[in-house]
Chains A and B, each alone.
Chain A
Amino acid sequence: MIYRENGQFKTSYAADQQIFPILQDRWAILGILVFAFVAVPLLADEYLFRAILIPFLILSLAALGVNLLVGYCGQITLGAGAFMAVGAYAAYNFFVRVDDMPLLAALLLGGATSAAVGVVFGVPSLRVRGLYLAVATLAAQFFWDWAFLRIKWFTNDSSSGSVSVSNLSAFGWDLESPTDVYLFCLLILVVFALLAKNMTRGAIGRQWMAIRDMDVAAEVIGIRPMYAKLSAFAVSSFFLGVAGGLWGFVHLGAWEPAAFSLDRSFQLLFMVIIGGLGSIMGSFFGAAFIVILPIFLNQMLPWLGDLVGVSISTAGVSHAEIMIFGALIVFFLIVEPHGIARLWSTAKEKLRLWPFPH
């Protein structure tokens, strides 16, 4: 009843091609943006910003990057963490080695470096597919883990291999308070999400999807697999690189290669699988699921225990958290193998017919 597009006529090509063709969607998105930019800074406290929202935004960006590669182009990668690391360490090197390097430029250059590295490590995708490719991208993970631990130049000769940054500012905007950091991350995320959405709607995205669905057929109709695959690697790594830079610079402040370990790669892959492969929205759902749920469980369980008068030990809570989290992953994968994003679109379909389903 509320969610119907009847009577919304498209009278121009521009209207037909817009990102959200349905009026209600446009309002909803606008509402979310207003909420995120205006209401959240007013409502949230420091803990919510620093421990939940900022990691959520940054990992959403990373999940977007992985989704472009895995979900849209069909190239499974286990090297996502490595590309984040490359982005973070490259941004760090630009930031400390070049005088007066602006933060945003450093982050973007970090992303660009990561993109270049991504192309190099994407080369095996021209020959190997599927699981074999996943194993090949593992090489990226191990190589960069090794490089950042061993090659002292990357860490500016720090004795222990850990690096740190501080006094961040962009365009005279001091990134000190959690609200500022949050808005900065949000701004970057919005721009990148828009980019991603448009890329997937454009020629390049269609090439990726064609390659994903059947690469031989795509080649026959004139899509160059090399160009399509490597561009997917480049764009994905760029997103990951910027996300890695943000993770190191604004979230952790100081980091070591372990911050971008293989666990991170798995985490990102799970995000897009649970959120929904080939869906921009799914990246956000996945990130929310993986970042927020464990913390939520971790805090809710002792509270629930208190309610019924049982005190649960710290270890017990932690074990329960892992078990419930794992069970939920299995549950979601069984109920909806196409991810939470598909549940969302099913809900939209239902809403369209509501309250008179035929």
Chain B
Amino acid sequence: MKLRKYALAVSLAAMGLSFTLTAPVHAQAKGKQAQEQFFPVLVYRTGAYAPNGTPWANGFVDYIKLVNAKGGINGVTATFEECETGYATDRSVECYERLKNKGGGATAFQSLSTGATFALTEKAPVDKIPLITAGYGRSESANGAVFTWNFPLLGTYWVGADVLIQHLAKKEGGFDKLKGKKIALVYHDSPYGKEPIALLQERAKMHGFDLSLLPVAHPGVEQKATWLQVRQNRPDYVLLWGWGVMNSTALREAQATGYPREKMYGIWWAGAEPDVKDVGEAAKGYNALTLQHGVELNAKVTKDVLALVHGKGQGTGPKDEVGSVLYMRGLISAMLGIEGVKQAQERYGKGKTMTGEQVRWGLENLDLTQQKLDGLGFAGVMRPVSTSCLDHMGSSWVRVHTWNGSKWEFSSDWYQADEKIIRPMVMHASLKYAEEKKITPRTPEQCKQ
């Protein structure tokens, strides 16, 4: 056993050594630039959720490549390394530990799973690395005074739930029309699926609609009982908080039950091509949210990726995937990280490598105006994002898109979540967290630093 341990320690040490030795060599060979900014990429290209994880990862990596093709972040080359998590929390933690000190220190982590977000939320402040959870993660982390290192940019599940109710109200012709309506939430039985419940209950109280909660066990292929309940109760609307294979199963069950797909609304994880492609015609009319992403085949950034990345044979995934829903999501996620670095450079010196702490400042003072976004090629894709100490979310613009049987099409105008409802909930939950953790929320003065 002793020998084994030695052998193991030695081989691991040798491995670590060889990595640290080879990594810079590679980078020099590639970049020929002194300054580098390292982006760790946690992905799941394998496992039950791979169909959704892969386009996200491809989009993310392609954007980093695009930035480098355009000359880097003010001249700083963006480097990256992928680490496969398989959507498992413990592997995510392992990846986090593996990548956090690589390449001169990780810029920011994007945990990409609610379970991993919870675990990394505890680790990021210790290591001083920001945690970007664009569109997912813990909703209460929007309060940056408590969650100094978390950035749920572009909205949270509460934003999603809130907008869904607004959209339904609009369809019905006013919030007062929601009274007595039956709305069912079919959700993945995990912290991810349970996030929206608090907000929906709040809205149900306000408008007097009847909310029924129908959990589906992981991974979500067994939904007969759930849809039997739907058949019995005949809810007016079904909200789908599904993930991966659960979404296509839900759509098939809806078809079998005879529940109209037009009355089904999914969160953004439940509204991409992999979820509906196999169901095809049967999913026609199904709606889902987009948090500033969506099919964007004609956007400038999409064309740039095709020209500068795929055109040079550098593309990560298949070419026809570029511009698809989750691909764009990954792309936007990468853009947010890069823009955080850019913002940090404004203060700490252009053309320099930023540390995690500096990037945190950058993300907290992010100000992506429409003009800047247009310049980046996101004209028509995104709306402005501006963060502050108290608001780590930056924006809550949401659109609804609908599957027409062969592709996703936007079917609503832009919505914004109702701050009057979300803000008190965020404050309440984040202060409870602060109390449990004995964190003193930052004062406005501390925020300015």
Contact = CB atoms under 8 A, between A and B. Distances in A.
Interface of A: 28, 31-32, 35-36, 40, 43-48, 50-52, 55, 96, 149, 156, 159-162, 164, 166-167, 176, 251-256, 258-259, 261, 281, 284-285, 288, 292, 295-296, 298-300, 303, 306, 313-315, 317-319, 322, 344
A96 B436 contact: yes
B437 A167 contact: yes
A159 B90 CA distance: 22
B46 interface: yes
A149 B13 CA distance: 40
B115 interface: yes
Contacts of A258: 89, 115, 190, 218
A300 B11 CA distance: 10
A35 B10 CA distance: 13
B84 interface: yes
Given A48-B12, A258-B89, A314 B45 contact: yes
A163 to B, nearest CB: 8
Contacts of A299: 15, 19, 98
Contacts of A303: 15, 18-19, 22
B101 A55 contact: no
B2 A159 contact: no
B137 to A, nearest CB: 10
Contact of B437 (A52, A156, A166, A314): A166
A49 to B, nearest CB: 9
A284 B13 contact: no
B84 A51 contact: no
B2 A28 contact: yes
Given A51-B94, A51-B97, A318 B191 contact: no
B438 A259 contact: no
Interface in B11-38: 11-13, 15-16, 18-19, 22
A45 B16 contact: yes
B194 A344 contact: no
Contact of A254 (B2, B57, B122): B122
Contact of B195 (A51, A159, A292): A159
B188 to A, nearest CB: 11
B122 A253 contact: yes
Nearest to B10: A43
Residue among B6, B9, B57 with most chain A CB within 10 A: B9
B105 interface: no
A35 B122 contact: no
Interface string B68-107: 0000000000000011101001100110011001000000
A112 B244 CA distance: 38
Contacts of B57: 314
A36 B6 CA distance: 10
A5 B173 CA distance: 90
Contacts of A315: 45-46, 50, 54, 84
B115 A162 contact: yes
B225 interface: no
B84 A253 contact: no
Contacts of A50: 93, 97
Contacts of B89: 252, 255-256, 258-259
Contacts of A259: 89-90, 115
B437 A159 contact: no
Contacts of A313: 45
B187 to A, nearest CB: 11
A284 B115 contact: no
B194 A161 contact: yes
Contacts of B221: none
B218 A166 contact: no
B90 A252 contact: yes
Contact of A318 (B84, B122, B190, B197): B84
A306 B26 CA distance: 10
16 contacts: A32-B1, A32-B5, A35-B6, A36-B5, A44-B9, A45-B16, A48-B12, A55-B94, A159-B197, A162-B114, A256-B118, A258-B218, A259-B89, A284-B1, A285-B1, A295-B94
B420 interface: no
Contacts of A44: 9
Contact of A35 (B5, B45, B50, B194): B5
A46 B123 CA distance: 13
Interface in B116-170: 118-119, 121-123, 126, 138
Given A255-B89, A258-B218, A317-B84, A51 B118 contact: no
